[in-house]
Chain A
Amino acid sequence: MYNQNSLDDNLSIVQKIKNFDYVLLISILFLGLISGFTMYSTDGGELLFHTRSHIFKFSIFFSMMIFLSFFNIKFWHFFGYIFYLIILLFLIWASLYGIKTSGSQRWINLYFINIQPSELMKIAIILCLSKYYHRLQIERVSSFKDILTTLVILILPIILVLNQPDLGTAILIASSGLVVLWLAGLNIKYFFYSFLILIISMPFVIAFLEPYQKLRILTFLNPGRDPLGAGYQIIQSKIAVGSGGLTGKGFLKGTQSYLEFLPEKHTDFIFTLFSEEHGFVGSIFLLLIYGVIVFRVLWIGTISRSYFAKLFCYGYGSAIFFYVSINMSMVLGLLPIVGSPLPIMSYGGSSMLATMIGFAIVMSAKINHKQLIA
């Protein structure tokens, strides 16, 4: 039957390298390449700060990912809660001593680097919950005590992030956590009830929203109500994408971004710029790469034998999917504007770091997919 040896904990370096998932690796590398060129375009066709910094960060974090991939999946399992707790502490730190920029307090100064712990929390929450459910009997998943525990794990960082305030990241953390709860087998009726409660409490939630957040929702419902103010971003983004046409305006020729009509073109609206320059064909191609990455991660989940690895891969694959679809829907005017970066493409170190850590764990799961965790 099965070769027991292959279940051994320790693989040699060569075996590990052989077990690397090259489809995922190449896809990420390819995405990194595209992101480099796109960033070059946002800088107006010059090798300026954003481009250089982005390429630098990608190289560093990509190498880091490969390095981290060599850690056994058991290490990540062991590290799960600690990682979560550290990030949670960071979040508290951020809320107390964080760096204030343009009305929000998201950053902490780690002396050698400034990071945004909320971005890392997107990974930490999946890791933590995966570990939590790893051992849990299916019967206990929907028990009151466990639901309470998981809710605490989930809600603590969300409150901290909402408090920064950073609605976009909070939503992404919540959806990452919820998808893990869903996959772990939490009774459907709870999802149904909480959905009902959400709908009913909507008016009260809106009452508590910051004025700018309310404005964003109103603007989403009708971008034309204030075309030069709140609706400006979404209108300009749609113009940019729409004017791209089938094949786009060409590399470095996106007038909307070049002439600075596009807001936040380095970060949240990078897809708009890409889509303007490369058109429908380019956008489908980019979407395809993301599709390959997402479904490759999910596939690694299916071949993983440990429940922890499986749950993490499913959870992380779904999370990437959320990042991508929320970001794209947002710039295409399908969702209100909430700050949410496009993984790898958007400029931002913390987001890149978190994404790469996630890929490292997935890669580790792939390398050790036969590994069981006691």
Chain B
Amino acid sequence: MLRQDFSGQKLQVINRRMFIIGVAKIVIFLGIITRLFSLQITENKKYLTLSDKNRLREWRLPPVRGEFLDYYGNIIAGNIRVYQLHVIPEQVENFKYLILRLKKILNLSDKVFSKILKKKDIQKPWETLIISENLTWEQFSEINYYLHDLVGVKPVLSVSRDYPFKENYTHVLGYVSQANESDLLNNEIIKNRYVSGLKVGKIGLEKTFENVLIGTNGIQRYEVNAYGKRINQIEYKDGVKGKTIKLTIDSEVQKLCNELLNERAGSISIMDIYTGEIVAMHSSPSFDPNLLLFGISQDDWQLIRNNPLKPLTNKTLTGLYSPGSTIKPIVALSALENNVISTNFKVNCKGKMEMYGQTYHCWKKKGHGVVDLKNAIKQSCDTYFYEISRKLGVDRLNKTALKFGLGEKVLKEVFENEKKGLVPNTKWKKDNLGVEWVLGETLITGIGQGYIQTTPLQLCLMTAQLANGGYKIYPRIIVEDNQDTFENIKNKMDQNAKSALEINKELKETSEQFFNFINKKKHHTLYRNPENIKFVLEAMFSSTNEVRGTSYSSRIKNPKYQFAGKTGTAQVKKITKRARELDLKTIDIPYEDRDHALYIAFGPYKKPRYSVSIIVEHGGSGSSTAAPIAKKLFKLLIDRHEAREKIRTQGSLKI
């Protein structure tokens, strides 16, 4: 037998037990293999994604905002280079020390300082923290001087919004400012392209066209290590600059508007009566939007906010005013169109008229005597218009006014805060106020007082649609390709006039069918009889260019510049009996109680091309305050017409 140093039983036990753990080992090894299989083969995709998420990090670069140009291609909202100071907190060893150093070097105020610290707490540590958005050259060079011991600080050359025309375009363009939480919540595109310090449009065209202006982010994709340190740049993608938007506005005219209003509260709008292009649109007083770019100081902001002349309101679009006598051309037209009166209809104005137990005054105390329609418009006789509006009725007036552009947004969606205004009728009053219409209200509506409310731009459109011979136009402020050209529009108008005439002969003139047919076409006619329009325009001409016309003193004799218009003086407060007796001068009345001065005009009279509406809040009478502004405007407007035509034809050649 084999010699062994141990018993057979011992051997048996050890071999049996070894066999058991041998099997256990194989099972456990197989278990580990299964686990490997499940991690590496079955779930490979999941872990691969996780690994990429670990190692790759994207940095979005700020998008470059598109520019705004005026009609002549001048930049009115552009981008300038600014020096900024960025810090990436995770790359800084001792943040507290660094930030205190910077505070000293840049001379930051405590308020700004705590704001930066707050921002740092909200952000992720690898996101750029902007210490200063706009360093002066001195600060920038100072920082560069100390840069060697400011680890983690990056002086950056960046771009920022700039409004070279300062306060001239504030209400048209709006302005940009740091995107806040509601901007991110309300606009998916802003949210997707957000980077620290991104500025977005807050109001005006900057806001309306945010989505095309914003541009796309450049992307830097880095491989980072576990501590977030950038190891390699894997990818770099340039962003696409936002779209450049060209406006129909002429900066020279726009600037003149600002000068003419000269810090008074008011508004001027100018429109091409065929193309509907807005040549100028200004609301005064204005403010410099550049102030808002890098955070306005509390004092400056309060100054703007608390200014009683309301620089923050865009009066052209959101200011609602009684049109006063500027509504008279429409009242007259409505009366003529509805065959309520003929042009020969006469009224004897005695300065006031008694009706339904009320006294209605004409602005001229002594009265105008016997006036016909033309003279009534020319001299703005209130008594005459009381009489014809009584005959016309508010509902028919309402229809004509709506047709000519009142009571409806002029630029539709372009400005989100544009107001509709109000052109009342009997149904409106019943639905909204719950009371029946009173005839006396018709009388004051006929002189543009009472419920009726219009924006300055609506008055401008109304004037344009009268001045072009009574055709519908489509106002626009943006120049785009494939817009209807002046020639096309004019052709369409002529065609529509012809076909209207033909149909007019076949059908009876008041037929609803006729209007439905006409309304489907672009630039359709707004009149029933073109002679009525012509008559109203002539009356407006006499109002400006004939003796005793209300704006006679503002006339221009040179036929090249000659224009026609209608003044308006809108009461802000009911004139009491006592005030009427006192007959105070404008200057003696408290500012808030003074009348608004209005003026609408078109020119040049022989071949009209532009319509203008002017309002000076609490400016006194339309003839003394508003009309003289038109005189200066038409000078420049017509001088620049040729240049404008040149741009227009060049532009159309390009297409």
Contact = CB atoms under 8 A, between A and B. Distances in A.
Interface of A: 2, 7, 134, 137-138, 179, 182-185, 236, 238-246, 255-256, 259-261, 275, 279-280, 283-284, 287, 291, 294-295, 298, 301-302, 305-307, 310-311, 314, 318, 321, 325, 328-329, 332-334, 372-374
Given A241-B39, A280-B37, A372 B47 contact: no
Interface string B92-111: 00000000000000000000
30 contacts: A183-B18, A185-B10, A236-B54, A239-B50, A241-B47, A242-B39, A242-B40, A242-B51, A243-B51, A244-B40, A245-B48, A259-B54, A260-B225, A260-B226, A261-B55, A275-B40, A280-B37, A284-B33, A307-B4, A307-B10, A310-B14, A311-B14, A321-B25, A321-B28, A325-B25, A329-B35, A332-B35, A332-B36, A333-B35, A334-B31
Interface residues of B, number: 43
A332 B32 contact: yes
A247 to B, nearest CB: 10
B18 A280 contact: no
Given A182-B21, A298-B18, A325 B28 contact: yes
B309 to A, nearest CB: 57
Nearest to A248: B40
A321 B4 CA distance: 28
A182 B15 CA distance: 11
Contact of B55 (A259, A280, A284, A306): A259
Contacts of A332: 32, 35-36, 39
B32 A259 contact: no
The SS class assigned to the A binding surface is: helix
Contacts of B36: 241, 275, 280, 283-284, 287, 332
Contacts of B22: 295, 298
Contact of B40 (A283, A321, A372): A283
A230 B333 CA distance: 85
Contacts of A374: 5
A4 B550 CA distance: 145
B29 A325 contact: yes
B40 A318 contact: no
Contacts of B9: 138
Given A241-B40, A243-B44, A314-B18, A325 B3 contact: no
A374 B51 CA distance: 60
A284 B33 CA distance: 7
B33 to A, nearest CB: 6
Nearest to B18: A314
Nearest to B50: A239
Interface of B: 2-7, 9-11, 13-15, 17-18, 21-22, 25, 28-29, 31-33, 35-37, 39-41, 43-44, 46-48, 50-51, 54-55, 223-227, 231
Contacts of A261: 54-55, 225-226
Nearest to B43: A242
A255 B15 CA distance: 46
Nearest to A179: B21
Across chains A and B, which 4 residue pairs bring their CB atoms closest together, nearest first? A242-B47, A243-B51, A185-B13, A259-B225
A159 to B, nearest CB: 26
A325 B41 contact: no
Contacts of B15: 302
Nearest to A290: B29
Given A260-B227, A307-B6, A287 B29 contact: yes
A253 to B, nearest CB: 12
Given A138-B13, A244-B40, A301-B18, A239 B51 contact: yes
A287 B40 contact: no
A298 B14 CA distance: 12
Given A138-B7, A182-B21, A372-B5, A259 B224 contact: yes
Contacts of B223: 255, 259
B15 to A, nearest CB: 8
Given A138-B9, A185-B10, A314-B14, 13 more contacts: A183-B18, A239-B54, A240-B51, A242-B44, A242-B50, A243-B44, A246-B41, A255-B223, A259-B224, A259-B225, A259-B226, A305-B4, A325-B25
A245 B41 contact: yes
Nearest to B13: A185
A318 B25 contact: yes
Nearest to B32: A328
Nearest to A185: B13
Nearest to A254: B51
Contact of A238 (B10, B47, B231): B47
Contacts of A295: 22
A372 B3 contact: yes
Contact of B51 (A134, A255, A291, A328): A255
A311 B21 CA distance: 13
Contacts of B4: 305, 307, 372
A231 B39 CA distance: 17
A185 B29 contact: no
Contacts of B48: 242-243, 245
A321 B8 CA distance: 27
A301 B18 CA distance: 10
A256 to B, nearest CB: 6
A325 B29 CA distance: 7
A236 B55 CA distance: 12
Contacts of A244: 40, 44
Contacts of A306: 5
